[in-house]
Amino acid sequence: MSKIVVLDYGSSNLRSVAKALETVANTDHAIKVSNKHKTILAADKVVFPGQGAIGQCMTHLKEQSLDVVIRECILNKPFLGICLGLQSLMDHSDEDGGVNGLGIIPGNVVRFTDNAKDAAGNNYKIPSMGWNQVYQTKEHPLWKDIEDGSRFYFVHSYYVKPEFEADIAGSTDYIGRYTSAAARDNLFATQFHPEKSQKAGLTLLKNFVNWNP
């Protein structure tokens, strides 16, 4: 039986992610939420969800040595990052006065421009909250059966700017075009929340459950 672990570092949306995975997984897959190193390292696949501020996220990861575990997992098994699970993979974030990330994907995390106006002259709201389209910038197994331009659910004030275009898997328009999904080797990570994104989100999670890079 395949073991999929949702990494628990203290985030608040773990159960919804686990429930969504249980919805799309068949009896060949066991879903577990854990912060135990041995359990995470023994998993066949790992999901790293997160929400809130990156400073607290990185502090909790380092206090539990989960930053070391994440780096090891990314070397040898399918890995899915969600929201802060994407942002924390970058080199650095401007949030919380400046915080170093895990440095797995070269690039930075920056805040949406304040007081930006849309074509009608209205201010864009920050955080960006709600449904928005994701445009697939390269082919990937996790995009299987998901139409290009499908809508996913977002809640965020910061977004990632990867250094290399090859790491970008999807983009979204809000104030400007930004990266909303990144991928390299056995790693895939999204700014949006697939567990809150109904059919398209569940399809992406099902693709991850079945992914064998």
Structure tokens belonging to residue 133:
């389209």
Per-residue pLDDT, 12:
66
Per-residue pLDDT, 14:
85
| H helix or E strand, kind and range, residue 156 | strand 151-156
Per-residue pLDDT, 28:
87
Domains for the chain: give ranges and CATH numbers: 2-209 (3.40.50.880)
**147 annotated active-site:** no
| Burial zone of 157 (CB within 10 Å; 0-12 exposed, 13-18 middle, 19+ buried) | middle
Mean pLDDT of 2-28: 90
Single out the catalytic residue among 83, 95, 140, 156. 83
**73 annotated active-site:** no
**195 annotated active-site:** yes
Given a cut of 90, whether residue 119 has pLDDT beyond it is: no
Q: What is the pTM of this model?
A: 0.96
Mean pLDDT of 175-202: 97
Given a cut of 80, whether residue 89 has pLDDT beyond it is: yes
CB 191 within 8 A of CB 83: yes
Given a cut of 90, whether residue 85 has pLDDT beyond it is: yes
Kindly indicate the confidence band of residue 121, based on its pLDDT and cuts at 50, 70 and 90. confident
Per-residue pLDDT, 26:
85
Per-residue pLDDT, 51:
82
How far apart are alpha carbons 81 and 71 in whole angstroms?
Answer: 12
How far apart are alpha carbons 170 and 116 in whole angstroms?
Answer: 23
Single out the catalytic residue among 60, 140, 156, 193. 193
Task: Round to the nearest angstrom and report the end-to-end CA distance of the chain.
Answer: 18
